[in-house]
Amino acid sequence: MLRKPVSIAASGMLVACYGAVALAQDTIIVTSERRAQSADEVVGSISALSGEEIKTLSADHIAEALARAPGVNLHRGSGADHLTAIRSPVLTGGAGAGSFLFLENGVPIRSPGFANINGLIDAHHEIAGGVEIVRGPSGALYGANAIHGVINVLTPRPGVDLSAFSEVFGDSEDRYKWKAAISDTTGAHGFFVGASIVSEGGYRESAGLDQQKLTARHLYTGADIEIDTIFSFNNLEQETAGFIFGADTLLDRDLRRTNDFPDAYRDAQSVRLQSIISVDLSSQSQFKITPYARWNEMEFPQHFLPSNALENNSHWSVGAQTAYYYDAGAFSFIAGIDLEYTEGKLREFQERPRIFSFSQGLHYDYEVRALNASGFVHGEYKLSDDTILSAALRIDGTVYDYDNRTNDGIVGRFLRLPDQTSKFVTASPKFSVRHQFSEELNAYASYSRGARPPQTTDLYRLQINQTGDQARPETIDAVEAGLRAELAYAVQVNIATFWMEKKNFFFRDADGFNVANGKTRHVGAEAEISIQLHETLSLESALTYAAHTYRFDRATGRASESIAKGDDVDSAPRVIANTRLAWRPINGALIEAEWISLGSYFTDAANDHAYDGHNLLHLRGELGIAGDLSGFITLRNVTDSLYAERADFAFGRERFFPGEGRTLGLGLRYQR
């Protein structure tokens, strides 16, 4: 029987009771197969946060929500900025932009090759109906950029009855938030509209933020067809703070609030439109096509470089995803073709007089036209009622047509390449087996490969010492085994172990030279545990132990950045833990304590310098006031720990993004 699309919201009540991390078997997942399926059918590691948990958390930054999944570690920067890790070190540069696939309702937020290292700033997580995190390579279905994992932010599905939601919030760090949503269904038509506004004075000097987001969804449901159209808009205006320098500054309550880059900022806008058209062809088959369009632009001065050059980048895309689903007896398969055309621009201009080799004037001005075409097939076969084999393969073809709009050659340290065309073909296979030992216990094992073409900036934004070792398609091979168990109904456990090896890891070393043949290994174990201690008391944990190591040698002019095989990759803590104790004494009341533990990690490639890690305690409470109105309170960093959101060692000194101190917040929430 064909599995119909089901919103993750259908499992909201169960997830609210038993937690979003340890997935209940009747939780619905939409990301793993690009359609709805039960969590116990998923082969791989996937975590889900329900819309109700997202509302309760009321996160100031999406990093707070994603911290509830094992294997995930987002380093918050200034304002909405972030760096991401999913079964990986925290990656920067082209690797940070292109190793993770950020989706909204199944469609990439940015075009492959034009990724943004702060890729989640556009996602409307504030009003989301769910967030799903796939850990490990997901290229067989999603293709480029799904190297280490996928994050899919889901817009709420229109409700059957008229419903409304509104929230206002303010805290002791001069942060104010408002968000609201309304939803209803009339006959075959349903709609959802959600909006959010954030205004922050900033924890640090000259580091305020203003951001507005709007999402609208229309759903038409006919006898054999469903048309689901979603529109998203984002506007971000932020003042950006850079690193602070020295451990003494991090531990000084006044100096850690300073900002050496008061003129830095980031302005970004984006618009996205998609329409998922699902047609039931028979009782056994379904066809989906998702045409979409996106546009975005961004402007920011490069305060992290001596030039402080102004960068303007943008791209627009049109594309379509297709999938044919067939389910009959012991055999089922999915096949499809994805197409996308993109035009992108990048311009970099330095107003400052020449400093070192950073020359005044125009550095780069180029356009890239890109065509991505992909085909995939995914099949499952039941060997028995309890054992299922599956196999998948995706082939991605990418063509970049680069057009230099200024003079070719060298200007200062900058190398402007002549017009050229680059072509890449990658393959992403996956094989897996799942066995159901009992209704309460199943296990799986899988092999998968993720692959992605280089980012356009890695290919065309070069400097004079980067003429050789051009970036090549990056691949990662992964073997994973896991089990899911439900013990006496009150205890749910998901355990996963993984081994991954990445080749052609492209980055720029401390001397500024391209490294195109880097190799890294990623080995670890993750656990998701949910325990119902009492009908009013629950305990949830997301635990990670992983080693991320270099598998090659490379010497540099800076001893602290020389790489030796077997060393830990910098910005890769081995231990990450998130544990929450929630008490619901009466209906409409909640008290939650959240403990976050981040282990120590090296801050340079040679493993000579390290950050000690930190432990944080957050408290949240909510209580019904009258009818549909409730009040809530948050106390973050209860112990007022002087910690770092990100620690690094570069150019001979320690540098940090300091985390906020003890912060008290109060809010009102209306929900009917």
Number of C-beta neighbours around residue 269 at 10 A:
17
CA-nearest of 58, 214, 65, 229 to 158 is: 229
Strand partners, 591: 583, 621
Burial 468-485 (b: 16+ CB within 10 A, else e): eeebebbbbbbebebbbb
20-29, 79-88, 477-486: least confident range = 20-29
Among candidate residues 548, 547, 564, the one with its CA nearest the CA of residue 556? 564
What percent of the chain has a predicted confidence (pLDDT) above 70?
Answer: 96
Confidence at 41, pLDDT banded by 50, 70, 90 = confident
Residues 276-303 have a mean pLDDT of 97
Higher pLDDT, 27 or 655: 655
CB of 443 within 8 A of CB of 435?
yes
| pLDDT one-digit tens code per residue, 631-666 | 999 999 999 999 999 999 998 999 999 999 999 999
Q: What's the predicted TM-score (pTM) here? A: 0.94
Query: At residue 8, does pLDDT exceed 60?
Result: no
Strands (E), 383-463: 387-404, 409-411, 414-416, 420-438, 441-452, 462-463
- Supply the mean pLDDT for the chain: 92
104-116 mean pLDDT: 94
pLDDT of residue 17: 31
* Number of other CB atoms surrounding residue 594 within 10 Å: 21
Mean pLDDT of the region 488-492: 88
26 confidence band (pLDDT: 50, 70, 90): low
Nearest to 372 by CA among 393, 401, 346, 347: 401
Distance from C-alpha of 366 to C-alpha of 297, rounded to nearest angstrom: 15
* Phi and psi based region of residue 469 (left: phi greater than 0; alpha: psi -120 to 50; beta: remaining): left
Kindly state the percentage of the chain with pLDDT values over 90.
Answer: 85
pLDDT band per the 50, 70, 90 thresholds, residue 469: low
Is residue 24 very low, low, confident or very high in pLDDT (cuts 50, 70, 90)?
low
Domains, in order of start, for the chain: 8-560+581-671 (2.40.170.20)
Please tell me the predicted confidence (pLDDT) of residue 20. 39
User: Does the pLDDT value for residue 432 go beyond 90?
Assistant: yes
Strand ranges for 187-284 from DSSP E? 189-200, 209-221, 225-239, 244-245, 265-280
Instruction: Give CA angle at 173 (171, 178), nearest 5°.
Output: 45
Predicted confidence at residue 467, as pLDDT, reads: 64
**What integer pLDDT is reported at residue 18 of this predicted model?**
29
